[in-house]
Structure 1
Amino acid sequence: MPLTATEAAAVARAGASPMLERTLAWSAVNSGTGNLAGLATVADMLADAFSALPGAITLVDPAPAERVTVDGRVEPIAHGRHLVLRVRPDAAVRMLFTGHMDTVYPLDHPFQTITELPDGRLNGPGVADMKGGLATMLAALEAVEASPVAADFGYDVLINSDEETGSFSSSALIAEMARSKVAALTYEPALADGGLAGARAGTGNFSLVVRGKSAHAGRNPDDGRNAIVAAAALALRLKAVHGPGLSVNPARIDGGGPNNVVPDLAILRVNFRPAFAADVARAHTLLDEAVAAVAAEHDVAIAVHGSFNRPPKPIDPGAQKLFSLVRTTGADLGIPIVWNTTGGVCDGNNIAACGVPVVDTMGPRGGAIHSPQEFLIPDSLAERAGLSAVTILRILEGGLS
């Protein structure tokens, strides 16, 4: 179907946005999840850029979050503030747009610079995941704001500071902002070949604190209760339930001490990836059974910390309508759209759990994210901004009804 005059104008305006310049400027500032100063700097830069849109911008304090230390203590985690923009809250049709300002690269990580590769790609920390995505989002919104239908367009923007570590300090905010939205777009990067994420598994991260009893390893070892051995037994028992529908990854054991002391403390870190809601319930049962069995067998105490922080994201009928709209829009723009089921997770999982249809890879094409080889394909900035702009316009025209 040919584009309307309004759609064509929005594509042209989105493509003329200074997306590359914004991406380079934002990526030049380290904003690893734990770098609060860097996050504050980027948040101010984003607030300045997104002030081109109508509505009120606020920087929201993070909700409390905690972690288990290597010595078994539970301590609070500090996070950066989250950027929130609300536009026309009384509009009949309202959407949610989300992204994150944090990256996986801390301040002391060696990957800190942006390099143009011989084939034109940009290699740099966060260029694809997701400073380029934020630039794409802003360009699309600016283009729609310049259209004749802008007065009917209500939306919220959320850019959080902790997505890369699970959105623990922003999950309640995501749920609150998803309420009553007809659809959501999230700007994780598309694959280099243009593929988008479809169904996603969920995820749960747990720290299992095992407390035994110390003893001399030579004089009276049998008086001790070896926490390391118990944690290893727990890891093996949990790994044994790995299979279709539920991936289980025991990732790390902290604890132990001198070779001549029976260790009385160990912390097992384990990740679950359930494919469906039923698999979450199954994982809870398996975890409870494994903890009880190992605690009894090894005469240790085991405390469970953690949760399933990203629910599975299946393709329900509402999501299918949105996916079909994006695919049709892509075809009209000459952009082939394919979907890939993935075990990766993002804030799209949380949004979908609120019953809101979401496509969560609307950012530019890129790859090798979470590694020093991360790259962005610059030409895809305009391509994906146009895709978003036309998708938004068609939703406003009733494309999901």
Structure 2
Amino acid sequence: MERAGDAPMLAQVEHWASVNSGTRNLAGLATMADLLADAFAVLPGDIALVAPEPVETVGGDGVATPIDHGRHLLLSVRPAADRRLLFTGHMDTVYPVDHPFQALSWRAPGELVGPGVADMKGGLAVLLAALTAVEAAGVAIGYDVLINSDEETGSLASRALIERCARGKLAALTYEPALPDGTLAGARGGTGNFSIVVRGRSAHAGRNPEEGRNALVAAAALAVRLAAAAVPGLTVNPARIDGGGPNNVVPDLAILRVNFRPRHAGAIAAAQAALDGAAAAIRADHDVQVAVHGSFNRPPKPVDDGAARLFALVERCGADLGLAIARRDTGGVCDGNNIAAAGVPVIDTMGVRGGAIHSPDEYLLVDSLAERAGLSALTILRLAEEGLA
């Protein structure tokens, strides 16, 4: 797997990380998509930039309006092959164009600090190097590469595309960063994000408050009720209430933002029932309107039999390369959740070793570029030769 390690990955990471591609920076995402399309054009197959699916967001006025996203890169190689794989990554980062963290620096020898160097422009370089090495080896396996533009905000504009690409695949590898010691993510919980719009009735707070219907109080009561719905296997985080106004006006609008974290499929049903019941109770108790916007956009990802076989294969490949590959369950979510929900075994932390992601201290361990590219290339070759026995 020396060929994978010989790829110019560090130069690619430095170039790509110098482009701000925060999820809402459409110009930066367009630049990044073009750079990636040029880079991945060394592989056979057809490259397309796919339009994002429509997505709405609820603003502070309680109105759902469309929100724009960047295009997604899709490369399809040998679509008629009997054995096909899916490789996924994302081009967006959590750092908007006005974030102070924009520049690259060296924290220590071999530790590159910069926005997106680990999550996941380093992972994209690893993926490209691995596939280039596999193609050079003459192994004619089929695959799709999907690099979306909105992973950091939930992949709402690419979820259906992920599901379509996953269909019929033998296995999938996603290039989120591993932990600094190389540990991979095992089982993941799911997530659901909701904006709940509460509309009451305004009135004078001193002259006739009884004629008002306080939307802020109702939203607060809803938050308390939902927080009490947490049970083992389900956490509930009421995160923010938008609304209110002058002290002498009974507020007629409030928006509650809440996050659910189900650990298993049954917890999603429990969360939905709690949400429906709480909304109905608040409507009745406070005489307000309640409109729920959102979804459980990433289902829980257990390690089922197929995933266990894929992990075992990666562990064997690691051993052959002198790498000890461990895994650990995590509460975080990513596109691997949606791939697993489509019935495809997936390992979603095949990217670089690094840390402090989503912070101004994000770093990449540079020696992991060659290491992880070699691990991916060998894994892909074994999947091509052996399948997922």
TM range (shorter): over 0.9
Q: Which one-letter code corresponds to 2:222 in the other structure?
A: L
SS in 2 for 1:117: strand
Residue in structure 1 matched with residue 70 of structure 2 by the alignment: 80
Q: Which one-letter code corresponds to 1:162 in the other structure?
A: D
Say whether residues 1:19 and 2:9 are aligned partners.
Answer: yes
Residue in structure 2 matched with residue 290 of structure 1 by the alignment: 278
Q: Which deviations, in whole Å up to 9, do the C-alpha atoms of 1:345-397 show, x marking residues without a partner?
A: 00000000000000000000011111111111010011000000000011111
- Quote how far apart the aligned CAs of 1:120 are: 2.8
Q: How does 1:248-259 map to 2 (within 5 A)?
A: 248-259=236-247
Q: Which one-letter code corresponds to 2:364 in the other structure?
A: L
Provide the C-alpha distance between the structure 2 equivalents of 1:95 and 1:252, rounded to a whole number of angstroms. Answer: 40
Which of residues 223, 226, 235 is equivalent to 1:238?
A: 226
- Quote how far apart the aligned CAs of 1:243 are: 3.1
Q: Which deviations, in whole Å up to 9, do the C-alpha atoms of 1:221-249 show, x marking residues without a partner?
A: 11111111111111111111223200111
- Quote how far apart the aligned CAs of 1:399 are: 4.2
Provide the C-alpha distance between the structure 1 equivalents of 2:184 and 2:2, rounded to a whole number of angstroms. Answer: 23
Residues matched between the structures, number: 389
- Quote how far apart the aligned CAs of 1:118 are: 2.3
Provide the C-alpha distance between the structure 2 equivalents of 1:42 and 1:133, rounded to a whole number of angstroms. Answer: 14
Residue in structure 1 matched with residue 55 of structure 2 by the alignment: 65
Q: Which one-letter code corresponds to 2:277 in the other structure?
A: E
SS in 2 for 1:397: helix
Provide the C-alpha distance between the structure 1 equivalents of 2:223 and 2:261, rounded to a whole number of angstroms. Answer: 15
Contact 2:188 2:337 in 1 (8 A): yes
How high is the sequence identity, in percent, across the aligned residues?
70
Q: Which one-letter code corresponds to 1:256 in the other structure?
A: G
Provide the C-alpha distance between the structure 2 equivalents of 1:29 and 1:340, rounded to a whole number of angstroms. Answer: 32
Residue in structure 1 matched with residue 358 of structure 2 by the alignment: 370
Residue in structure 2 matched with residue 197 of structure 1 by the alignment: 185
SS in 1 for 2:386: coil
Q: Which one-letter code corresponds to 2:197 in the other structure?
A: V
Q: Which deviations, in whole Å up to 9, do the C-alpha atoms of 1:273-316 show, x marking residues without a partner?
A: 10111110111001111111112111111000000000100011
Residue in structure 1 matched with residue 133 of structure 2 by the alignment: 143
Q: Give the TM-score, by structure 1 length.
A: 0.96
Provide the C-alpha distance between the structure 2 equivalents of 1:376 and 1:298, rounded to a whole number of angstroms. Answer: 52
Q: Give the TM-score, by structure 2 length.
A: 0.99
Q: How does 1:211-226 map to 2 (within 5 A)?
A: 211-226=199-214
Provide the C-alpha distance between the structure 2 equivalents of 1:315 and 1:274, rounded to a whole number of angstroms. Answer: 15
Provide the C-alpha distance between the structure 2 equivalents of 1:287 and 1:111, rounded to a whole number of angstroms. Answer: 38
Residue in structure 1 matched with residue 326 of structure 2 by the alignment: 338
- Quote how far apart the aligned CAs of 1:126 are: 0.3
- Quote how far apart the aligned CAs of 1:119 are: 4.4
Say whether residues 1:96 and 2:86 are aligned partners.
Answer: yes
Give the alignment's Cα RMSD to 1 decimal: 0.8
Which of residues 255, 263, 275 is equivalent to 2:263?
A: 275
Which of residues 333, 351, 359 is equivalent to 2:339?
A: 351
Unaligned runs of 5+ in 2: none
Residue in structure 2 matched with residue 380 of structure 1 by the alignment: 368
Contact 1:211 1:301 in 2 (8 A): yes
- Structure 1 residue ranges (4+ consecutive) displaced by more than 4 angstroms after TM superposition: none
Contact 1:325 1:399 in 2 (8 A): no
- Quote how far apart the aligned CAs of 1:90 are: 0.9
Contact 2:170 2:387 in 1 (8 A): no
Say whether residues 1:391 and 2:379 are aligned partners.
Answer: yes
Provide the C-alpha distance between the structure 1 equivalents of 2:192 and 2:249, rounded to a whole number of angstroms. Answer: 33
Unaligned runs of 5+ in 1: 1-10
Provide the C-alpha distance between the structure 1 equivalents of 2:379 and 2:169, rounded to a whole number of angstroms. Answer: 15
Contact 2:49 2:71 in 1 (8 A): yes
- Quote how far apart the aligned CAs of 1:163 are: 0.5
SS in 1 for 2:108: coil
Q: Which one-letter code corresponds to 2:150 in the other structure?
A: D
Q: How does 1:312-331 map to 2 (within 5 A)?
A: 312-331=300-319
